[in-house]
Amino acid sequence: MKDYVFDLIEQEKVRQKEGLELIPSENYVSAEVLEAMGSILTNKYSEGYPSFDDLDKSDKEISEEILPNYRYYGGQVNVDRIERLAIYRAMKLFHADHANVQPHSGANANEAVYYAWCEPGDKILAMNLAHGGHLTHGSPVTRSAHIWNFIAYGVREDGDIDYDELERLALAEKPKIILVGYSAFMKIPDFERVAKIGQKIGALLMADMAHVAGLIAGGVHPNPLDFGFHVMTTTTHKTLRGPRGGLILSKGKVSSPLKKPEKTLENIPTLIDRAVFPGTQGGPLEHIIAAKAVAFGEALKPEFSDYAAKIVENAKTLAEELMSRGFILQGGGTENHLILVNVEKSFGFNGKLYEKALDMVGLTLNANALPGDKAAAFRPSGVRLGTPAITTRGMGKDEMKQIAEWMEKVAKICQEVSSEDDLGSLATEFAPIREEVREMALKFPVPGI
């Protein structure tokens, strides 16, 4: 008899089918990615690495060959082939000299890069969390912040990176790493300018593109590796539509991870491999690596570029529709997949109240702090939303207009209450909107369900 866990999974399946996912860091994977994740590869222990020799081959050649490996266990012939396929496809997708597909998450990927290049106490220049950066870029609540010395740059009034501040800090502090990356930023970074700054001081140039990796793969967002960046980290979910996990891409010379190389920019790929295993992780998750390989293969297909372009088109349409209805957006719109709304300034209540109200009608997004936000972390002034998941379901401009209309209706209803505790009293007013959301959601099936 199945455990109660399976009943809860079924309930989650219904929630996903009958609602609309607007959290910009969430997406839906294909049935094939789901199948790989749920495979018997979870039974195999594979500490170490496959051989990286002659990776410039076709999928078929890699899938048939047997090469020496750097593993600590036997029985590796099939997982070696799968991991080599994942590495090969990631390199091809992102124009990299090497890829490490073993990180369990984006956080693990970032920490491995810090560990590979820096000594404890070394300086790392990264975006301020309060201005749209990520926890792993120096937030004091993380382990990384207790090991390395993070220095933060911010954004300007227009929502873009303050490149003058970034350059001033880089020249004054001489950080070992300059990091461009974010979790709530709606502009396209000027990678060329940052690369020139990094070259002046000999810093490692690192880009955390977890949010926009799928847009880069689809050719609708610039690739930092094409502008002189040495390393790019990312998650493999979000816009890339893969399993939950991390990925590190790098430029440089690839050599055996068994031999400790000199700490030079040319040797970054091998330094990173050693930092991932055994430096910061144990055995890799080969069922997840197989799912990554499947997702990378899907992203290499021409239709993925159409999907990436549609994400941006939908985001811009949704942003314009929201602004036409009185929503005040950070940066005045978006250049990628992500939108930040200043709910407090737009309607007079906090982002958490709005998040919970939208949840009641089947629209899922998340409360988010804005630059200079004085509100508490759990009661920020804004919300963050995006279009990757709803675009995966096949939605377009008409649906973006409808979503904006629902968001406006919910916002106006929310002005009737003073706190989240009072939202229950609005259930009757929310009910018709909930039915409309459900009706539209069911017209656009969730992949794999």
Average pLDDT over residues 16-34: 98
Active site residues: 45, 47, 208, 235, 238, 244
Average pLDDT over residues 377-389: 92
Average pLDDT over residues 70-90: 94
Mean pLDDT of the chain: 95
Domain spanning 306-442: CATH 3.90.1150.10: yes
For residue 424, is pLDDT > 80?
Answer: yes
For residue 66, is pLDDT > 80?
Answer: no
Angle between helices 397-414 and 427-442 (to 10 degrees): 170
For residue 317, is pLDDT > 70?
Answer: yes
Return all residues near 113 (Cβ < 8 A) that are at least 6 apart. Answer: 177, 204, 206, 231, 233, 248, 272, 275
C-alpha span between 424 and 445 (Å, rounded): 29
C-alpha span between 232 and 222 (Å, rounded): 12
pLDDT band at 374 (very low <50, low <70, confident <90, very high): confident
Dihedral, 283, 286, 287, 288 alpha carbons, nearest 10: 80
Lowest mean pLDDT of 156-160, 402-406, 439-443, name the range.
156-160
C-alpha span between 71 and 27 (Å, rounded): 33
> Which tokens go with 195?
């690369």
The string of DSSP codes covering 367-381 is EE--TT--S-TTS-S
Average pLDDT over residues 379-403: 97
For residue 159, is pLDDT > 60?
Answer: yes
What is residue 231's three-state secondary structure? strand
For residue 61, is pLDDT > 60?
Answer: yes
Average pLDDT over residues 401-429: 94
- Measured over the CA atoms of residue 177, residue 192, residue 295 and residue 388, the dihedral's sign is positive
What is residue 363's three-state secondary structure? strand
Over residues 231-262, the pLDDT tens digits come to 999 999 999 999 999 999 999 998 888 888 99
pLDDT of amino acid 448: 86
For residue 1, is pLDDT > 80?
Answer: no
C-alpha span between 242 and 232 (Å, rounded): 17
pLDDT of amino acid 376: 65
pLDDT band at 378 (very low <50, low <70, confident <90, very high): confident
For residue 355, is pLDDT > 70?
Answer: yes
What is residue 307's three-state secondary structure? helix
Lowest mean pLDDT of 107-116, 351-360, 417-426, name the range.
417-426
Average pLDDT over residues 176-203: 97
Domain with CATH 3.40.640.10 in the chain: 31-299
For residue 300, is pLDDT > 60?
Answer: yes
pLDDT of amino acid 377: 67
Over residues 104-143, the pLDDT tens digits come to 999 999 999 999 999 999 999 999 988 888 989 988 899 9
Average pLDDT over residues 50-72: 82
For 31-299, give the CATH class: alpha beta
Average pLDDT over residues 440-448: 96
Average pLDDT over residues 176-204: 97
pLDDT band at 421 (very low <50, low <70, confident <90, very high): confident
Domain with CATH 3.90.1150.10 in the chain: 306-442
Give the helix/strand (H/E) hosting 386. Answer: strand 382-386
